[in-house]
Amino acid sequence: MSEATDSMRSIFDLDGRRALVIGAGGGIGAVVAKGLSDFGANVLCADIDEAASAATSELIAGAGGASQSLRIDVTDPDDVAAVATTFRDVDVVVLTAAMNVRKRLVDLSLDEFRRVQRLNLEGSFLVIREFGARMAERGRGSIVVYSSIRAQVVEPGQGVYAATKAGVLQLVRTAAAEFGPSGVRVNTIAPGVVDTPLTASIKADEQWYAAYASKSVLGRWARPEELVGATVFLASDASSYVTGAYLTVDGGWLAADGRYTPRL
C-alpha cells in the first residue's frame, strides 16, 4: 500500500478527537455514537435519559472504545450552556435528538406544536449557539445536526415536524456562514425513513411500510448503521472543505416523484 493511499485513508480517522453525540440513548444516535468510536473518537454519549446514554457508553467501552455518558436537556438553555462549558474541548458535536406529532394541522394543538418546535428547532439553536461559540474560540470544530428529507418534501400529518426540520437546515446554513471564518464547520444530514424503534408504529402498518419502502429508489428502508458513514465523513478531515451542506441519506427518495397519504 502506497504512502499516499495511507494518507488518504487517514482523513477519516478520528483518533485523538472528542465527539459529543446528543441523542445517544437510542436509535440513530446510539448507532452513530458507536460508529464514531469505531473510527477512533472518544465519545461522550448524551441524552435526556441518562440511563439510556449510559447503556450506549457501556456498549462502546465493552467494545474497547473510550466513552462516558451524561444527561443533557437541549430545551434548557442553562443546561446546554453548562455542558458546553464543561466540555468546551469537544471537536465534534452530533445532534440527533428530535420528536414528531403526526396530526393534520387542524387537529394539532398549539401545545403540541410548541413541544415539537421547542425540541427540534429551539434545541438545535441552543446546541449550535453554545458549542459553536466555544469551537470558534478554539478555531476549529465540526457540528452535525440531523434534519430530515421533510425539510424539502412533506405529506399529511408532517406539518410541524417538516417546518422545524426546514428551520434546522436554515440555522445550519447560517451557522456555517457565521462560524466558518473561525474554522468551524456546520452541516446537516437528512435521512429518509429509517428502521428504528421510533418508526415501529409505521412499520406495523403493512401498507404504510410498503409505501415508504417503494418511495426509495432502492426499494427499502434505511438501517441505522447506514447513517454512520455520512456522520463520520462530516466529523472528519475527509470533509474539511464541506460546510453548510444538506447531505441526504435517503435511498434516492428525493430523486424520484411520488407520495403516500397515511391514515391519521
Catalytic residue among 146, 161, 212, 241: 161
Other beta carbons within 10 angstroms of residue 22's beta carbon come to: 29
> Alpha-carbon distance 152 to 248, whole Å?
11
At residue 108, what is the residue type? L
Residue 241 falls in the annotated catalytic set: no
> Alpha-carbon distance 244 to 204, whole Å?
36
Q: For residue 243, what are the β-bridge partners?
A: none
Q: Which residues are catalytic?
A: 161
